[in-house]
Structure 1
Amino acid sequence: MSLIMATFVTLASCFTPAPCAAATVSAPRPLRGNYTLISAQGKFELGLFSPAGSLGDRFYLGIWYKNIPVQTVVWVGNRATPLSAVASAELRVSAADGNLELVGPTRASALPVVVWSSNLSSSSMSSSPGRNTADIRDNGNLVLVDGGNSSNVLWQSFDHPTDTLVPEAWVGENKLTGEYQALTSWRNAQDPAPGMFYDTVDPNGTSEFFFMWNKSRMYFRSGIWTGRIFATATEATRTMLYNTTYVETPAYRRLTNVVYDNATITRIVLDLTGQVKVYVWVRARQSWQPFWTAPAVQCDVYKLCGAFGVCDQRSQLPCRCPPGFAPVSEEDWTLSDWSGGCRRRSRLTCTHNGSTTDGFLALPDVKLPDDSHAVGAAKSKAECESTCQNNCSCQAYAFSAGGGGCTVWHGEIRNLEQLYADSGVSGSDLHLRLSEAGLQDLGVSGTNGKKRGRTLWLVLGIPLAGVAAFGVSVILAWRILHARRRRLANEKGSSLVVYSYGDLRAATKNFSEWLGGGGFGSVYRGVLKQQKGDNRTQLQVAVKKLESLGQQGDKQFRTEVSTLGCIQHVNLVRLLGFYSSDVEKMLVYEYMPRGSLDRYLFGGGASPSWRERYNIMVGVARGLAYLHHGCHDCIIHCDIKPENILLDEDMSPRIADFGMAKLVGRDYSRALTTMRGTIGYLAPEWISGQPISAKADVYSFGMVLFELISGRRNSDGYSEVEAIGSWSSDSWTFFPVWAAGKVVEGEVAAVADPRLRGNVRPEEVERACWVACWCIQDQEAQRPTMAQVVQALEGAVQVNAPPVPRALQHLVHPARLHQSSYTLTKITHSD
């Protein structure tokens, strides 16, 4: 929540309706105290506010969304000079020079002073300055217009953005004045003064935008403008939400965004983490939801955590202090301002002659910080440590026997990042300098603490040995008693039950009730007996006997399964336990009584209603979004299809077989076996043998969407009576191509499953079709993320007609190609 709170405010209440509804500010009619201006259609409001959580003793001129219950400021005038009270404050037009100015008391002056002004240049002055007027418009732009010519805009807030960009606003450069229209983060969650992070167009004249720390250090760049998007952005971000335009003229070069649907409420914020984030207001949740972020990795932001701070991508807050350190300002850290960094709890004792009792604390698995110095003379870890210890300015060292040698750091240490062994990126051990007192506080011996440690062991060693022996005997007895029901207790918190082969053979009646199977193995229904206190219960389960695991060892398998056991989501089938031996491995899942989705769509029995189908679409999308974005590591399913979507008693979807690719090891070869995906749901890059990403799941999901809409396999024929009309009964087309054409032509009802008998919501059918078309784009970059798909299906963003993927065009029957080309052309032009 702290990432969003930077723009949440507590608004000074408006009690008098008539002044609040005022449309303009002028010299004879200033805006005083708690009074506000509201735009013509009531979208935006202008007035004084006090930041949320503050003491209410600082007030700022701001613009915020009028009808959103969570107050969200998009522009601030007097960012660095707050007012101390509002009663005597006023926003007025100066009768002398026509400037718009904010006047009121400050902490430095009890008398009203000008704390903010539009600062019109002499060339911008109007002929009748006393007649100038200001108003707030429905796009959130505060404008000051010429009193003698209302079409002449003298000043506007869109030329002076703060930390937020709303649709139709811009960032860039005014070539005539040399002024940069840039975003600058708030200082902290309660202070809108300019912070450390700055976003601006390339000063060298290119179309690229830079993200800067303290306006001096670039940590991310957008890539140049390609004519449609910036090189590092995704096509889906532009086409699903904004029409993004970069324009360069002799007067300016700037970027602006226009939303496709005016009902969509969105904003772009350079927030306290140094990331630019696109937020969308989701009415159903009454909250702002993130849509896109850059840079995507939070720890890529330069010096986010300040000196000696550690950036941790997996922690609730991005920054923490290493052991033996504390925040320089605890108050700043509670306000999401980590720039002050950390300080040692105990001061170092190194003297100028090199005498010291300081020692070192190892920080394992970290990304080594910037500004290091190599020490070639040190050939061992001991020599490296001695080199650093004998230099009072040396703050840390690292040693690698594999070729990196000895590296030391002087002065403050920046950009420390915690890494994890299961992330695929290896870290190093950094040895951070601490005083002897600091090490003792952590229970670690310093240079002079080794002897004391040995004495302590002699005093406590015998009692501890007895306790340890007793503990070992208890553990052994416990394991013997509970070997058949022991639970994993690894570092990831998994609670999977380890079953024996006999347990699962008895539960499944010797694997006699087969439920289904695929490339990963066969699934059997079973009933496990459980003892809960004095009660004996039965638990229905599905037992999967795994195949194609190759030479994977038991330890590796247990590690992978343990990771999957930590994954809990309402739209994922829950993994309960497993069995593992050298010759066979099995997984135990919760049992889904309604079976898989394919039997309802293609089995010829009772078919789901449109409401049930749409809920299944949203549920599967949420489950995949969790796998891709909500887990510690991105998990690619690799085989999304109706057979792997199970239904519970309430017809809610549960994704099965998630993480199976992780278990068996992903093979990105050209071999198209069911273990590596199912033909008909495979993304083009997979078929061509290229490495895949989470976007392969997005493609498969798009195919499943079309099947949920139509109730048929994507390659089924559509006869004259059922769909095509003018086509003969033996005609054939690929449903995604045909369906997209029908939606473009406005025949939404024709796309839906005939078994629904028209009982559908046309707007949801259209939305689902467009989302599906975006999901099956040829290029990965053009497909949305699953998080964006969820927002689109929930109606948080408007979805527009995408281009028809070229890879699908060859699937149209050759004899009918000329008949389908009209549809393809229409869809392409609609983009």
Structure 2
Amino acid sequence: MGSAAVTTFFLLCALSPFLTLSGPVSMPSISPNFTASYLQFIDNSGAFLASQKNSFQARITNSKPESRSFYFVIVHVSSKTIIWSANRNFPISESSQLRLTTGGLTLYNDTGYPLWSTPQRLPSVASLQLLESGNLVLLDAMNNTVWESFDFPTDVLVVGQKLGIGKSLVSSVSDEDLSEGSYRLVVGNYDAMLQWNGMNYWRLSMYKTAFRDTNFPVEHMVMNFTGVYLMGQNGEEVVIKVILNDSKDISSSFQIVKLDQSGVFSIVSINPLDGSKKEEFRGPSDSCRIPFICRRLGVCTNRGSCQCAPAFHVDPKMSNGDCVPTDGYLALPGPCNGSSSDKTSIKYLNLRSDLDYFSNDFMDSVSHGVNLSVCQNLCSSNCSCLGIFYSQGSGSCYMIRNYLGSILIKSSSTDRLGYIKTIEVRNPNANLGNKKSNFPVSAVVLLPSSGIIVIALIVTLIWLRGRRRRWKKIQRSKLERGNSSSSAEEMDFISIPGLPVRFDYRELAEATRDFSTQIGSGGFGTVYKGTLQDGADVAVKKITCLGSQGKKEFLTEIAVIGKIHHVNLVRLKGFCASRGQRFLVYEYMNCGSLDHTLFQSEPILEWNERFEIAVGTARGLAYLHSGCDHKIIHCDVKPENILLHDKSQVKISDFGLSKLLSPEQSSLFTTLRGTRGYLAPEWLTSSAISDKSDVYSYGMVLLELIRGKKNSSPQVQSNSSGTPSSFSSGESGHRLIYFPLFALEMHEARRYQELVDPRFMGRVRNEEVERLVRVALCCVHEEPNLRPSMSNVVGMLEGVVPVWEPRIESLNFLRFYGRRFTEASTLGERSEQNEAMLCQQPLTNTTSSYSSFSYISSQEVSGPR
């Protein structure tokens, strides 16, 4: 071989790292500036990295040879088990690229758009390694781990991998489709739970050999060769343990915890020699406890077979195996579209007394001490309700919402009776009318005259009776309309879609001790703490604005909150309309609102708690914008409407200003509502309003989380502090600073530590602050189309989507806001009483011209408040 050829060969090896990896994968480490795709490593089934003993491989591959969907995964080689996937919800093509740089890993689609990445601004990455445990890690130059796949589990855990509190395993849709399915294993405060579409159906503590050692709160779940453990007290105390049988025989095997596509949580031992599998643990052990084991309304028998519930059968025209009503005039309700069905067309089909539903043992009743008719009316008024179970002894009413699963045989003696909601698809009397019209005339001719007279009399009597009934109905309707205006008002409430439980006024007065314990107030109402008869603590909001607009908002809030359910959205337990007063009954959040915790209370709200609040709020808004049947725009995102519970559990409240938009409707509306300080610029012009207005408000809240103060709160600045020129005024001491503009200028100067709450005293890493600042600034872009969706915000905060770079040209409006704000501070602040404006009356819209902002008072723009 000539010297030129040798030189060329070594140059190609240096410039194309994948050429050095052809053949068996044995590289223990990969350095930055590396690129991989399936096509580049097709001879190795897409594998480009292996653990030291080749037990695991990192691959870009498809789950089935015939599939055109490719994923970046970690595979256990001998059993071909995928233990982790980076892009399970975003499959790529065979030519898509994974790139390793000093900033981390990024997966791109064919157009060069990033679909997944490790968190941005990691410490400089020196290598990528796959450990013999199956953990994919990024290391810095000192071999410190800066990122690991174990922190982001999918549907599998391996030995030594921890599943932290609040985290979950999520099943795949199928063996071919790795995207998230309907089942979750969630680690809660005191147990681990299996869920189907958000409904619990099994707990780890229900397993026959499970044992609770202590009552400490759970911190994480972990599995080893002896069993499964829920750990607390910094991982030093066992809370719940499940010991495996024959642990000595499996100590040499590879073990995984898996949540499979059917909803079974299992521990599987894999023989490393031949890849054979043995199930060591299975939950639930009773397969009839699996919510969809017999599909919709199929009864799972003790023998494991399936049959349709009484009055239902499998429609031969449908291939999915779901059960439908046997009566052809009846059908199961369709998807909840925001309006309740006509009650006259609803019929409830009774299930056998020995049948039960999987979620009944895990959910609270929606009402108690009521009769069956009231329970059915509650379901009829709630379009998300698909059926009920009613306890005859206690009068408790349980609702099946949103999804219908399988039915099971009762395992214990209960007096619950089940009823499935159906809709009459056509009027059976119509057929009767057709039969009458088709009655042969010859039969009438041949009848004796006496028979004709009798028939005529019967028809006349039926007509007179029907006329009398209609007259009585009209009179009764007139009487009801004339009773009082409050009666008419109550009729309005009955027709609300998603109607929750209705409380009696006396019940709420007793629960709140005659409304003596006030825990909050605002323009829309006053909130009191109460305790219901069943011991549940609640927050009762008394509505104080009773004008026509207040009534509309009240109805909207009941409709919206009553039919949506999410871990980051406050739960509306019920309402009351009595004596001209209106009340909303919420679940009680014992830590109050974010504004109190963040701005007023001590000790300081720690950075990791603030981050969890930011993520939880983003998830809740993302659900409102894209997770519901109808897009819901909150319109009043602010710290006062973000409620906290133990361990910084966050829930968004106050949907009274929300708007529901169906997919067919425009996604825009122009009625001005909200709170100054958080209003997007489009509220103040003739520009249209969309879900991106909530994104703007969220960005303002995120900036307040970073600083720990209101964006317009007084702060001490001196001219020697290096403050940007926008804030220098020659004055000393306290003065108003518009913090969003300060954040922009510090971002331009890359001085992020000056933005963080000074009480942290340098305890927060610069890159953590930078991430939140960049996300916040992207959210407050003046141009709505440049703002990210809330789903993208969640992705950026969680590190699965690269953090966007703020567009300075769309943030220059903050400089105008800052100038107007500074001018207002020199003239003195407007009275807080005038600023609040009772019941949040709408502002007067300005013209659409940007220059018109110069005529808007600083109290009218989004920044000053």
Normalised to the residue count of structure 2, the TM-score between the two structures is: 0.42
Normalised to the residue count of structure 1, the TM-score between the two structures is: 0.44
